[in-house]
Structure 1
Amino acid sequence: MCKGRVIERIKASIDGNKRIIYLGDGKGDYCSSLNLREQDFMMPRKNYPVWDLICNDPSLIKAKIHPWSDGEELQRTLLHLIHTVSYLEDNNIDESNDLFISSFRPLPISVPH
């Protein structure tokens, strides 16, 4: 089954207000990224096939794109997104523009190794 179809099934089974954070690096992840919504997040790995495909025409991706290049950046970006989404939901904020997301500072958190 195509990963894009899996995303479609997930979207159909969740509350419309829930967000998807999708991480990918291969060509097979591109189809999935095309099926994400505006409130979702795509985290492509820089300089890998999915990143190259997205860069060819980023306007095809509705989700907010947050690239990463190594494990440390992946962790930092993913935690930032989780904190942002939690903050927005906890405070009933309708985030209708990217200004709030890009200017939000995540809370410090320690992650066990």
Structure 2
Amino acid sequence: MAFTTARIEIPSDSLPLVGQLVKKLGGKVFKDCGAEEVLFTAPVIEEKERVSRMLKGLRLRADLTQKGLAKQIGVPQSHISEYEKNKRKIPREKASDLARILKTVESDFIYKD
């Protein structure tokens, strides 16, 4: 599995949460690198997987169920489930709707085959 290392700046009170997320995604958390810095690395994920994780994460952050989100964009709940499991590609027009509802950008839901 390939890994990438990135530098991000976040509020210090978010550090434990980011560390937990990195571990949950299969990444590594290294020892403190200084008073205010911890180094995280995470595995590189395929675009399709990135899109599905992004959708699910943003949906949960917005406190929406699959059924609730599906109703707002005019698709069956099963489509949201399939989007989140990489079993169905998100159409561009639905990506635009998702971006508006989940307060992000359309490109979060687009990938090349």
Per the normalisation by structure 1, the TM-score is: 0.30
Structure richer in strand, relative to its length:
2
Per the normalisation by structure 2, the TM-score is: 0.30
